[in-house]
Amino acid sequence: MSGYVEGILVLLAINVVFAYGAFLPIAAGQLNLGIAGFAAIGGYVSAFLSNNAAVPVPVAILVGGLAAAMVALAVAVPVLRTRGIYLALATFALGEIVRAAILNIELVGGAAGYPVVAFIRFPTIAAFAAGVAVVVWLLFATRFGIAITAVHDDERVADLMGLNVRAFQVAAFALGAGFAGIGGGLYAHHFSYVEAQYFGITLSISIVLFVLFGGTQSVLGPLLGATVFTLLPELLRGSAQWRYVFFASIVIVVMVLRPQGLVTGVQMPRLFRDHRERARTGRAA
């Protein structure tokens, strides 16, 4: 595998992990614009552990994810009091505070960035990405997925049906933050260097774009969105200067043509169900 191809695939796998981190809260009706802040927590915590405590890298990355999830749990109670665009802005402010705080922690290099000694390659990163995707897929095959969807569609009705709306929102938010933290750890250990500036609002926005572009109704959406968003700029590389111009134009046009995202909830099951039904009854559906 050439270095170039590996670089793209690594980025793709990390983006998939990030996308699932943003997908969980969005699936529960919350836009987390501070997702990069949680990625930064995961990245820095795991890097610190593997640099200073000789913790094996995969363990350090998982602990980094856990740390991000714990921070999310701690702030979820005040932050999730807000709703809609207020929540999005509160998470945005939170992400910026995390980034600005890291800039001031000299222990991890402050503004100069933090070098990471341990190095992981594509297979490890791909394994993590696959693990995250499988966990989300399994979650959405259980009551948890149905409950999250119910909370997203109508909080009040979900509440009336006896769901603990608040608990599900906090769970989705914290779990998503944990995945973002894992993504940050993967990033830190592949690129051998983390700097707080990378984990700004631009990263949060790109991650949210992956999810909304791919579609929020199906667990396949984030996967597809992250793939398109990682590969498309590379395919457009031929016209280096203009590639982000083309890229943004494509996003704008696709959102007009398919505002629900590329993959929707009904479309996938329908594809398979029709197929199965046709096989069973022997009639053309």
Partner 1 sequence: MLIYFQQIVNGLMLGSIYAMVAVALTLGMGILRFLNFSIPGLFMIGGMLTWALVRDAVPWPLAAGAALLMAAVASLVVELFTWRWMRKADEFVPLVSSMAFLILFENLAVAYWGSDLQSLPQLFAGADWRVAGLVISVPQVAGLILSIVLIAGLSLILRKTRLGRALRTIAEDADTALLLGIPIHRIVPSVFLISGIFAALSGVLFAVNYRQVHPFMGEALGLKGISAMVVGGMGNIWGAIAGGLIIGCAEVMSIDLFGADFVDISVYGLLLLILMVRPTGLFGAPAGARA
Select the residue interacting with partner 1 from 66, 73, 93, 232 (CB under 8 A). Answer: 93
Total interface residues for partner 1 by CB under 8 A: 44
Shortest CB 152 distance to partner 1, Å: 10
Judged by CB under 8 A, which stretch of 55-63, 74-82, 164-172, 179-187 contacts partner 1? 74-82
d(CA 22, CA 20): 5
d(CA 266, CA 244): 32
Tell me: does residue 96 bind partner 1 (CB under 8 A): yes
Select the residue interacting with partner 1 from 53, 56, 74, 81 (CB under 8 A). Answer: 81
Structure tokens, 104: 């001031």
Judged by CB under 8 A, which stretch of 8-16, 66-74, 99-107, 113-121 contacts partner 1? 99-107
Tell me: does residue 79 bind partner 1 (CB under 8 A): yes
Tell me: does residue 94 bind partner 1 (CB under 8 A): yes
Helix (H) or strand (E) holding 194: strand 193-194
Per-residue exposure over 123-139, b if at least 16 CB sit within 10 Å of its own CB, e if not: ebbbebbeebbeebeeb
Tell me: does residue 107 bind partner 1 (CB under 8 A): no
Please check whether residue 213 is in contact with residue 255, taking contact to mean a CB–CB distance below 8 angstroms: yes
Nearer to partner 1, 81 or 121 (CB): 81
- Long-range contacts of the stretch 9-14 (C-beta < 8 A, 24+): 9/122, 9/126, 10/121, 10/122, 10/125, 10/190, 11/230, 12/226, 12/227, 12/230, 12/231, 13/122, 13/125, 13/126, 13/128, 13/129, 13/186, 14/125, 14/129, 14/183, 14/186, 14/187, 14/190
Select the residue interacting with partner 1 from 89, 232, 236, 268 (CB under 8 A). Answer: 89
Select the residue interacting with partner 1 from 63, 76, 136, 212 (CB under 8 A). Answer: 212
Judged by CB under 8 A, which stretch of 1-9, 139-147, 164-172, 240-248 contacts partner 1? 240-248
Select the residue interacting with partner 1 from 10, 17, 39, 99 (CB under 8 A). Answer: 99
d(CA 213, CA 197): 25
The site for partner 1 (CB under 8 A) is made up of 26, 31, 78-79, 81-82, 84-86, 88-90, 92-94, 96-97, 99-101, 103-104, 111, 201-202, 205, 208-209, 212-213, 216, 241-242, 244-245, 247-249, 251-252, 255-256, 259-260
